[in-house]
Structure formats: C-alpha cells, structure tokens
Structure 1
C-alpha cells in the first residue's frame, strides 16, 4: 500500500487577514481525502509562535473569537493549549526564539501555506520553505512578493503590455510632508472619483473610494495604517470580474465570474461580513470579452512568473467593454464558497479535486527545481 502524502496546512499568521486564513484552512483540511492524505495542521498565532497538531485549529479559532469580543465556551483554555496527540507523533510546539517547529521538514511531504496578506502571501513564508527545501503549494518567492506589492505588480503588468487603469503611487512620508503636492498630482492625473489603497494588503483591507478632495485625507490615513506605500487608482464605471488560473509552466484559465458587490465596491465588509454580495458564474459577458479576460489572465499569471494558482481580477468598462487588468492574488480566499474554487467548480473541477491537483503541482514544481544545480564545481558541457 502506498504511504499517504503528509500535507502540512499552515494558517493564521501575523497579518490583518488572520481570520480569513483560518476559514480557508478549515475548508481545505476538511476536504482532503483521509484515504490519500495525512493532514498536519500548522497554526501561526498573531504573536508568530507556532502550534502544530490537532490543537492548532481550535486554539487559533478560539483566539479569533476572543479578538472579536465573543469568546466561545472553553475558548480561553483552547487558546492556551499545547500541541499534543496520542503517541506524540508529528505534534510539536516551538520554544521561544525558534523560527519553525522542531523537525519541520521531516514532518511533511508538502505544505499548503494558506496565509493571506503580509508575512505569508508576500514571499516571506515561501522563502522559508525554499530554505527548508519543502515542496509547497502556490507561487514562489518572486511571484508572491510581486503579487502582494500592487505597485511593483502594476509596473510588471505595464512592462508586459497589459491594459490597466491609470494610477499613481506615493510613500506615506510624501503625504505627511507635502500633502498639497500629492493632492495636486492626484487631481491633475487621475481626478475623482478614485480609489486609495495600501500597496501591500489583501482582502480589500484599507481601501477607500474617494469622491472628492474632502475625503482624501481620511482615505490616505486609512491606507497608511497598513503600509508605507500608497496606491491611488482612477475610478471608472466598471463591472468587476475574476478568473481562476491553475498550473505551472502551462497554466489554464477557468470560466469568468462576476462580483456584484453589496456596497459601492467590493470591500472587506462586502466580502466577509454582510454576505449580501452576489457571485455570478459564469459572468454574463459577450464571448469575445470573456475570451479576452481569460487570455489576459494567463498573460498576467506568466508576467509575474506565477505557479500553482492565482485569481486574476479585472475591470470591464460598461460603456466600451474595454478589459483592464486590476490585480493578481497568488493565494486567494479558499473556502468552499470563495470565488477561486467556485470558478473551477463551474469549469468542471470539484473542490477536493482542485486541492489534490494543487498538491501535485507543488510536488511537480519542486522536482523541476531540483534539476537546477547550485554546484559550481560541475564541468561545463562542451559547446
């Protein structure tokens, strides 16, 4: 009998999207077939300490409830639980000063880093896993970092010739020292309405729609709370559509889905709180527009050298049907009800089959990486 693949699922993390990560990881762990996979839960508290084993998920869920001001029965004890299990196998909790739990590499065959936002989706966790030589699901260090930094992302998209909305970016210090100059630059180059965002954040955290100059200061202050780099984009009358991309060197795109937000735009509250936004899959678009969206999604994926998975978000102008690339998300929300898995479900790939495919893509990518030698003493092939 073949040994089950040991899958480490990392969740939580030191990010504003800590709770979203827990939701995604819960869905993934529940969907992994126990006949094929052995799940090793790996929770990272907001403090940065790790809990590995069966108590990881209940402990972090309890902490999340406490943070939201609604502790569940037994939450305090669960939040303080140590990682223990029958037999003592595969379950460790790090000690003070440890970067990762002991024997991390030996405990898993592959890792799914279900971490959203900074300190997880931005290349930091991916770099750690590269150093440990552990196969992992999703984009590598470069694509993860680029996907998190919206400014660098847009610069690479521009280099690849991808159509985008007009934008400007500023350092927090520039706003603090010369707010009038920044305001004039926005007024002259973008106008109003516009959208103000932190460059490094996901799940629409810290984003504001600014209708006139009087709202700009509050919007910049909010964005600056999350990052030193601030992105400002032109506001257009658009539809918001998304495509899921899957693969390594030969990525493919799903059907197109559309977001009809419950608020003025698809902000954090519309995504995760009120539950009133509508996902339309497939989107009601002319075939030519839908095909263009799918084509550009693959090009955006390749432009940042992505691998595994990504969700690419677009704007479609209502008046002209012009397609504009908005951003790429290298570790999108991954509950059963999140857009990424729902797009693949509509394309013919079930949630469980999608996760299994991602695990095999991670192992494939790791094998491919092993072909590249770092040994400079090897002889040079004859030319």
Structure 2
C-alpha cells in the first residue's frame, strides 16, 4: 500500500496565505502514484477540516465546509479519527508558517500521536522561530551576528526610558524592530529616530509580546539551504537583489520584484565559510529535515547571521528549492521526496528510545 501523505495548510497565523501557497505547490508536486495524498485545512480560528484525497493537479486549495458549532478541539479530534487509522504508513507535511505551525506546537501534537512529519522537531522549531532565543544560543557558540537587544512588553511598560537608552547607546539608528516570533517580515520596521522607534514598537507588540531590536548591517542579503538529519548538507549561497532598504511582506509576496542571483557572486572561501556556519547553526539547534540560514554580507566580506527559518516558504519560485536546483540539479518533487525519507528515518530512530524502565 502507498504511504499516506497529509499536507496541513492555512493555520491560525498572519502567514496563513503564505502557507496556502506553499501547500498548493507541495500537493501538486507529490507523485500521486507513489503516495496517497490528502489535504487538511486549518482556518484562521484554528478549526481543522479534512478536505479529502487529492488525485489530480489543483488550481486552488480546498477549504471545506466548517460546522458553525465546531470548536478547534472537536474538529481536531474528528480529523485525527478520520485520517490516522492503524495499519497504514503516514507522513505529515506541516506546510504551516509562523504561529501554531513553525513554533513547535504542531510538532508536539504529531509527536504525541506518533506520526512522522517532515521538518524540524519541537525544540528547534520553538527556538528557531524565536529570534531572541536563537540569537542567545548563537552568541554562546560564536556564530557572528549584529548587535541586538530584546525585551517583553511587560519590561517595556515598566522601564521604557531605560530601554530607549539601551537601544540608542548599544544599537543606534538606523535599527530594525522585529516581533520575536514571526516571519515573512510581518511587523518589521526600519527606524531612523526615536519617533519611528516608538511607532514601530507599538506595531511589533501587536504581533508578539517580545520584540528584538537589531543594529543595521549594510550589506547584501544571502541565504543557504540545509537538508539532512545527523549529517546535513548545504546548498550554494544565493541572494536577492534589493530594491528597498529591506524586503518587507509586500516586496516578498505581492510586488514580485525580487531578483534572485544563484549562486551568489562571492569568493569561494566566503562561500565555504557560509556553508560551515549554516551547518553549525543547523546542528547547534539540533535541526532535522530542512533549514534556511539567512546572512548579511558586507563590502568587506564580513558575515553576520540574520536569522534561521525552520520551515521556509516552499513554492516553486521560493529560494530554497532554487538553491538546491543550482547546487546539484535536485528538482522540486525530488526535494519533497527527500524530506519524506528524512522524516521516516527520524521517526524510526526515535522509536529506538525506551519509555519504560526495565525490570
């Protein structure tokens, strides 16, 4: 019997629409003769809906009918009962970005029900989405980063004047304000003075209760894609030609003006160093499956890790698959199959762990 592959999409997240783009590309790329492919939609309120088996290419995703009396808990229980029957091999592709998808929550659920899933586990997902915690861990192992500070909304309310002083003395202007646990540049602002900083913090705190403020690094933005479990491999580095001081949500997903350059035009020695740092970042976070590591590269060829993405955007036009195609010719469907194989491998390894005491 074919392996049953369930693609989760949507989710209770500001990155809901991006998730749908990723899921549509993945569903259409999956070999329907090799896998039985099913789609599961999660709406903006967290209601789960089994939208059924997919046997042909989709033009758009199904969202299904949701009972008005349904609750997230009841809908989840219904979907679990319908989908994960005993005696079949299942793999879940959580094509979910941001909150409740990339933050360890869905990974924890899948661990509890003992179903293999592609991508990173609970810890790397929870840490990787939290820019503050990622930066703290990277600082302990010497991964180069720009100067940063972070604080919660409670700290901000208690001692805003001291935080202003800390930002202006340590970081300076221009600086970048970011919600700690979001991606896709949602809630991110470049600030050139205190008035802009105040407005940026107000907006960032609507998306998260913790924010990060980074020192601006003047340089090119580059990315390296990582695939693997215990022995991760790195792609060549790629970059986007920037038309703005930073790539906000519209620049990335609406305007369509990004110009990728793969491989990036950098010396071989710098390329190798980026791959080494990317592998180090993946391993220190205990990554599995995939990760994208984002860099700033200055005119002097100094490297700074900006952030990691534990489940990056994955449409046919995204940087991650383009990087691997340029590295070794791996096609989009081949990458998806590699992810599935890695998920099954990690799940089988986890089953070697003993959860009861021997007599």
Which TM class, normalised by the smaller chain length? over 0.9
Please show how residues 170-181 of structure 1 align to structure 2 within 5 Å: 170-181=151-162
Find the counterpart in structure 1 of residue 150 from structure 2.
169
Task: Say if 1:201 and 1:326 are closer, same or farther in 2 by CA, change over 3 A.
Answer: same
1:18 aligns with 2:2: no
Tell me, yes or no, if the aligned pair for 2:241 and 2:260 is still in contact at 8 Å.
Answer: yes
1:108 to partner: Cα distance? 5.9
Aligned partner of 2:218 among 231, 237, 240: 237
Find the counterpart in structure 1 of residue 84 from structure 2.
105
Task: Say if 1:335 and 1:343 are closer, same or farther in 2 by CA, change over 3 A.
Answer: same
Find the counterpart in structure 1 of residue 351 from structure 2.
370
Find the counterpart in structure 2 of residue 359 from structure 1.
340
Deviation string, structure 1 residues 43-92 (Cα, Å, up to 9, x no partner): 11111111113499xxxx68xxxxxxxxxxxxxxx766369xxxxxxxxx
Tell me, yes or no, if the aligned pair for 1:197 and 1:223 is still in contact at 8 Å.
Answer: yes
Greater shift in the superposed pair: 107-116 or 364-373: 107-116
Aligned partner of 1:134 among 111, 115, 138: 115
SS at match of 2:221: strand
Tell me, yes or no, if the aligned pair for 1:246 and 1:253 is still in contact at 8 Å.
Answer: yes
Tell me, yes or no, if the aligned pair for 1:8 and 1:111 is still in contact at 8 Å.
Answer: yes
Tell me, yes or no, if the aligned pair for 1:55 and 1:82 is still in contact at 8 Å.
Answer: no
Tell me, yes or no, if the aligned pair for 2:12 and 2:99 is still in contact at 8 Å.
Answer: yes
Aligned partner of 1:124 among 105, 127, 130: 105
Aligned partner of 2:38 among 36, 40, 44: 40
SS at match of 1:99: helix
Find the counterpart in structure 2 of residue 71 from structure 1.
none
Deviation string, structure 1 residues 235-264 (Cα, Å, up to 9, x no partner): 121111000000000000001000223322
RMSD: 2.3
Deviation string, structure 1 residues 154-189 (Cα, Å, up to 9, x no partner): 111112221111100011122233322211110111
Find the counterpart in structure 2 of residue 196 from structure 1.
177
Please list every run of at least 4 consecutive aligned residues from structure 1 whose deviation after the TM superposition is greater than 3 angstroms: 93-96
1:34 to partner: Cα distance? 1.4
1:231 to partner: Cα distance? 0.2
1:338 aligns with 2:315: no
Find the counterpart in structure 2 of residue 304 from structure 1.
285
1:274 aligns with 2:255: yes
Find the counterpart in structure 2 of residue 27 from structure 1.
25
Q: State how far apart, in whole Å, the 1-side matches of 2:214 and 2:139 are.
A: 14
SS at match of 1:246: strand
Q: State how far apart, in whole Å, the 2-side matches of 1:253 and 1:120 are.
A: 24
Tell me, yes or no, if the aligned pair for 1:259 and 1:279 is still in contact at 8 Å.
Answer: yes
1:377 to partner: Cα distance? 2.4
1:37 to partner: Cα distance? 1.0
Q: State how far apart, in whole Å, the 2-side matches of 1:130 and 1:183 are.
A: 42
Structure 1 gap ranges (5+) = 63-77, 84-92, 379-383
